[in-house]
Amino acid sequence: MSTNELRPATRAWPRQQRGITLIGLIFWATLITFVAIVALRVVPTVNEYYTIARTVDKVAREGGGTVPEIRIAFDRYRQIEYGITSLTGRDLDITKENDRIVVSFAYSKEIELFGPVHLLIKYQGRSH
């Protein structure tokens, strides 16, 4: 007799299964879809904010010495950069601090997510 024949038959108990259930899959798919929708709607407004911030920095450095010259320079950059739709030169707050021109801006962007649900983002910035 071989040693295999002498051993009692052992029954292998199945280990507890791991994985995701159908309800878990639906939950995660819904969550990921919602986050993707919000990101796809918000990213263009963030891109516009950074474009405005770069333009405001350029205008503060090179735009001129008077308020009307700075507003005209911003509007000129705005015509070139089609990504700026939320502000015009009239919306800029232009001050002088320590013989340096400081251009500030603030605006709100309302983004429709779906149905009656909207997201309100308030942007503000100033030249360096």
pTM metric for this prediction:
0.76
Number of domains in the chain: 1
Instruction: Write out pLDDT tens, residues 68-121.
Output: 999 999 999 999 888 898 999 999 999 988 888 899 999 999 999 888 999 999
Beta bridge partners of 123: 107
E strands, 16-116, in order: 93-97, 100-114
Distance CA 71, CA 83 (A): 17
35 occurs within a structural domain: yes
Looking from the CA of 79 toward its CB, the CA atoms found within 13 Å total 5
Domain that holds residue 55: 21-126
For residue 1, being part of any structural domain is answered with: no
Contacts of residue 33, defined as CB under 8 A and 6 or more positions apart, other chains included, come to: none
> Residue 114: helix, strand or coil by DSSP?
strand
- State residue 51's pLDDT score: 94
